[in-house]
């Protein structure tokens, strides 16, 4: 899990952050929606088991599966809460996670045995069969995301083909999740097999949220379970399992930007805290310091360090291009980029460098007014990469009331991709 500026909230998100209702306006009003992919604090999630329930209810789901990486630790605790939350069906699960493939085993509380880092074909097939013998429904997770991970790109391993997975007995494929990737290849492949009547059995498609941190992530897809009128009277796991194995799902995808309610609440509470601190400082100050717009240079010292992380999406670069009119072919799929040393589109340098504004506006701020900013772009950043930015104050000039800091940005390999410097005036209003 990437450490970001909110990391101290992992497992400690205030419960009232989940007091909201949110769905997409594209969803049918009478739909029954399932989330097949959820993480809690038992692995790398930020929510407790009960908060997972609250989050699912808040986002319009009627059932969900808890699928922590390689552990069923939180399944028993979450199942004990079923009577407290009768409005949603709580289903245990297990994400069988390797560098080669991720599989969700839906409907089982735990999975025995050691999980190899890079399993061979026979091992994957064996584990699928074992999970199904235990009563699990087997879902293949996020193929486009997995094959873009470093081990795959470096040729250290290969993802099983869709044809192999179908032969090995999987029941369904996840084609969208909160990272806002989409897998049209699987959709078209399955549709063609259905048309040609070559599917050996029904296969479902799903849109698991794969939620980890609700402050940074929002729901971009819902899996509708197509239940009969009789099944709707008591929609439990047995009913949902039957529908999945019969391929009775319909997917709904909404990739429009949505600022998570949890992020809004966190921002609001931080603003209230800062206003309170600001009022306290102004009340205890005299003369010039009681005026609006006091420069708070004394709050900083050389060596002060802060950091945060961000995952860059293709949609962000496309929005940036439209805003500033820079439709450079380096940022788009096509023959041009394929002939360059990058081979695939890269994120706008200004987007990566723009992480420096977060330090001035939010972390060293609010209220840092930038005077100068400069960057060096050292390595490309590709869509889907998570970049860690570290800022360090290098100068505090109490005479001119200026603050200077440097920022370094690193990818998951630890390579420095961007560095920047900024000088600003830290105001408090």
**39 neighbors 68 (Cβ within 8 angstroms):** yes
At 317 the pLDDT is 86
pLDDT by residue (tens digit) across 152-172? 998 989 999 999 999 999 999
- Helix (H) or strand (E) run with residue 189 in it: helix 184-195
How much is the pTM? 0.67
Displacement of CA 106 from its chain's centroid (Å): 21
Per-residue pLDDT tens over the stretch 338-370: 999 999 999 998 899 888 887 766 666 666 788
- For residue 282, pLDDT beyond 60: no
Nearest to 95 by CA among 80, 111, 82: 111
Q: Which of 316-325's residues contact partners 24+ apart within 8 Å by CB, and which partners?
A: 316/347, 316/351, 317/345, 317/347, 317/348, 317/351, 317/383, 320/348, 320/350, 320/351, 321/348, 324/350
Three-class DSSP category at 409: strand
What whole-number distance in Å separates Cα of residue 256 and Cα of residue 10? Answer: 26
| C-alpha closest to that of 76 among 46, 40, 44 | 40
Residue 393, Cβ neighbours under 10 Å: how many? 18
Domains and CATH numbers, the chain: 7-253 (3.20.20.140), 291-428 (3.10.129.10)
Q: Within 10 A of 19 (CB to CB), how many other CB atoms are there? A: 11
Distance CA 189, CA 207 (A): 17
Residue 134: per-residue pLDDT: 98
With beta carbons less than 8 A apart as the criterion, state whether 248 and 232 touch. Answer: no
Q: Tokens 């589109």 — which residue?
A: 345
Q: Which residue from 241, 255, 223, 253 is spatially nearest to 33, judged by alpha carbons? A: 223
Please give the distance of CA 309 from its chain centroid, rounded to a whole number.
Answer: 12
Q: Can you tell me the distance from the alpha carbon of 265 to that of 243, in angstroms, rounded to the nearest whole number? A: 37
pLDDT tens per residue, range 18-28: 999 999 999 99
Q: Is the pLDDT of residue 3 over 70?
A: no
Question: How confident is the model at residue 223, as a pLDDT?
Answer: 98
Distances (CA, A) of 295 to 263, 276, 300, 303, 348: 28, 17, 11, 20, 33
pLDDT tens digit sequence for 96-153: 999 999 999 999 999 999 999 999 999 999 999 999 999 999 999 999 999 998 899 9
What is 82-104 written as a DSSP string?
TTT-TTSEEEEEEEEE-SS-EEE
- Structure-token match 């909230």, residue found: 9
Mean per-residue pLDDT of the chain: 89
Looking at residue 9, its pLDDT comes to 86
* C-alpha atoms less than 13 angstroms from C-alpha of 139 in its C-beta half-sphere: 29
**C-alpha closest to that of 108 among 128, 122, 124:** 128
Contact 44, 70 (CB under 8 A): no
Q: State the Cα–Cα distance between residues 87 and 64, nearest whole angstrom.
A: 12
User: Do 186 and 143 form a contact (C-beta atoms < 8 A)?
Assistant: yes
Q: Calculate mean pLDDT across residues 255-264.
A: 91
């Amino acid at each position: 899990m990437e450490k970001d500026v909110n990391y101290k909230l992992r497992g400690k998100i205030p419960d009232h952050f989940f007091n909201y209702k949110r769905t997409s306006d594209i969803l049918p009003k009478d739909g029954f929606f399932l989330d097949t992919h959820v993480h809690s604090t038992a692995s790398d999630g930020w929510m407790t088991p009960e908060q997972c329930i609250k989050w699912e209810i808040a986002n319009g789901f009627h059932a969900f599966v808890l699928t922590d990486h390689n552990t069923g630790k939180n399944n028993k605790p979450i199942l004990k809460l079923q009577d407290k939350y009768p409005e949603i069906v709580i289903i245990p699960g297990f994400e069988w996670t390797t560098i080669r493939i991720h599989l969700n085993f839906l409907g089982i509380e735990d999975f025995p045995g050691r999980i190899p880092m890079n399993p061979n074909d026979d091992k994957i097939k064996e584990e699928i069969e074992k999970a199904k013998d235990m009563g699990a429904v087997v879902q293949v997770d996020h193929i486009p995301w997995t094959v873009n991970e470093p081990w795959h790109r470096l040729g250290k391993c290969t993802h099983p083909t869709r044809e192999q997975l179908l032969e090995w007995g999987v029941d369904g494929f996840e084609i969208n999740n909160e990272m806002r990737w989409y897998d049209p290849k699987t959709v078209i492949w399955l549709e063609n097999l259905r048309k040609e009547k070559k599917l050996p059995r029904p296969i479902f498609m799903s849109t698991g949220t794969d939620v980890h941190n609700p402050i940074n992530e929002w729901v971009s897809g819902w899996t509708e379970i197509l239940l009969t009128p009789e099944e709707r009277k008591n929609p439990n796991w047995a009913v949902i399992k039957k529908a999945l194995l019969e391929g009775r799902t319909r997917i709904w995808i909404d990739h429009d930007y949505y600022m998570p309610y949890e992020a809004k609440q966190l921002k609001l509470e931080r603003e209230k805290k800062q206003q309170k601190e600001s009022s306290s400082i102004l009340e205890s100050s005299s003369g010039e310091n009681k005026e609006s717009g006091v420069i708070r240079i004394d709050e900083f010292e050389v060596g002060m360090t802060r950091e945060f992380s961000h995952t860059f999406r293709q949609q962000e670069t496309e929005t940036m291009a439209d805003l500033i009119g820079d439709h450079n072919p380096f940022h788009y799929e096509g023959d041009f980029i394929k002939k360059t040393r990058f081979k695939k589109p890269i994120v706008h340098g200004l987007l990566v460098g723009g992480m420096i504004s977060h330090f001035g506006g939010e972390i060293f701020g609010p209220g840092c007014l930038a005077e100068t900013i400069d960057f060096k772009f050292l390595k490309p950043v590709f869509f889907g990469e998570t970049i860690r930015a570290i800022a360090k104050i290098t100068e505090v000039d109490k005479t001119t009331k200026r603050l200077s800091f440097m920022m370094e940005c690193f990818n998951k390999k630890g390579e420095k991709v961007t560095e920047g410097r900024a000088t600003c005036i830290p105001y408090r209003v």
